[in-house]
Amino acid sequence: MIRKLLIANRGEIAVRVIRAAREMGIRTVAVYSEADEHAMHVALADEARYIGEAEPSKSYLDASKIIQTAKDCGADAIHPGYGFLSERAEFSEACAAAGIIFVGPPASAMRMLGSKIEAKNLAVDNDVPITPGFFVAGASAQDLKKAADKIGYPIMLKASAGGGGRGMRVVRKPEDFDSELAVASDEALKGFGDGAMMVEKLVERPRHIEVQVLADSHGNVACLYERECSIQRRHQKLIEEAPSPLFDQQTIAWPDMQRAAERLIKAAGYVNAGTVEFMVDEKAGEFYFLEVNARLQVEHPVTEAITGLDLVQWQLRIASGEQLNIQPEMLKGERPAINGHSMEVRVVAEDPARNFLPSIGKIAAWAEPKSPGVRVDTGFGPGSEISRYYDSLIAKVIVHADARTQVIERMRAALLDFHVIGVKTNIGYILAILDHNEFKQGKIDTGFLAREFADWSEHPPIPRELGAILEHAATPSNTSSEEREPEERAWALTDGFRNAR
């Protein structure tokens, strides 16, 4: 039994884990850096421990410091969240050596799946389809170029370690291979400490589909349906939904993808929550294995919405040795067990008008949507500081409804009710995507944003009553409201705000 849990993370995922643990009667311990002393996760936890300076390497990435903190406070387990130490096999091993439960997969599975080359070889051994390519550890630049010539252009260069779009380059002509390989390898070396590369055949206009899995230590594996993650900007996901509209078109058979994911998870000896990612070539009617994310995903709430399961609580139960005891139809992956449709958008502190540069500073005012079928996961609020040291994600808005068309309408309404003053956000950009006709029809792929929104610029936003009030409240003034002229008051704005929608 886990009685006390340390969360080795920050922001919205730390808040998410704290709330799940509290519902189970588990005491929580937050860790925080110098930059996060007044953060939401610190205030919500039962205890909070300072672990170092704002620089991640001196705080959230310092494994020995986090394990010592867990020992000092008597924590039974550590939940790594995502990012930071979540996919480091050595951290999982260090937890085990210290007698602390690591809420995640065993180190052996993480190592097997952490290298894209090893993971693809495992996939081949278990009849999981992979993209035609060249996946050999220690391959030289000459080996890679020969493989590219044999596969045929265009090809994709990919880093063997890591992800998130770093160390990836499309090469369309042989004469560009050497220069693109040098850039990709250098980027991978700096980002992951490993410059090893592999070559894949480029699939034009692919869809990115991932399968959520839960696996216990008793041999049970549940493939909890798929998520559509094709709406990406520079390989970073912005909108995710479940289930995917792809399967409505019956281009790919769900049981085939489900069984492939299950075979791979069992072959790796995987336990706890994870995600098997696939690339789909709609034109060919084929799907190919990409990688396994050996952790909880940012987009896990959409799966929770369509299954009614709390994935974080199941992580804790599985880590405690419990057997996966869920609805039999869901355990088998039967699609009639899916409840409606769900979508998540990532609200990030970036300025779309300045090429999406991160926007840092203090949040002066904050108002979240509060409507039926709408959930907001965040670690921020009024007065929170957006730091340059960490990821720009400030909130996830998740909506659920009976059908995809309703979900899009509900998401649009929710975003119009989301107001952040003090930093720039991408809300206007997301609204434009939701309004795009092809997005509404589910005709999307990973190149959709680059193709359809390459020249996008935000028009002046529609006046909104709450936004006007917050903007007005956030503007410093030396005069009282009684001394201001009526036209200066938020309530007196002549913008028809009460009917702005």
List, by residue number, the catalytic residues.
Answer: 295
Asked whether the beta carbons of 464 and 428 are under 8 A apart, the reply is: no
Check residue 190 and give left, alpha or beta (phi > 0: left; psi -120 to 50: alpha): alpha
**Residue 251: exposed, middle, or buried by beta-carbon count in 10 A (0-12, 13-18, 19+)?**
middle
Matching residue, tokens 């370690």: 161
Amino acid at 399: V
CA-CA-CA-CA torsion sign (253, 259, 265, 268): negative
Phi, psi of 395 (to 5 degrees): -165, 155
Asked whether the beta carbons of 404 and 330 are under 8 A apart, the reply is: no
Q: Which of 256, 267, 266, 170 is nearest to 209 (CA)?
A: 256
Asked whether the beta carbons of 337 and 330 are under 8 A apart, the reply is: yes
Q: Which of 359, 369, 343 is nearest to 467 (CA)?
A: 369
Asked whether the beta carbons of 41 and 376 are under 8 A apart, the reply is: no
Asked whether the beta carbons of 8 and 31 are under 8 A apart, the reply is: yes
The DSSP element (H or E) to which 33 belongs, if any, is strand 27-33
> Checking DSSP bridges between strand 272-281 and strand 286-293, what pairing results, if any?
antiparallel
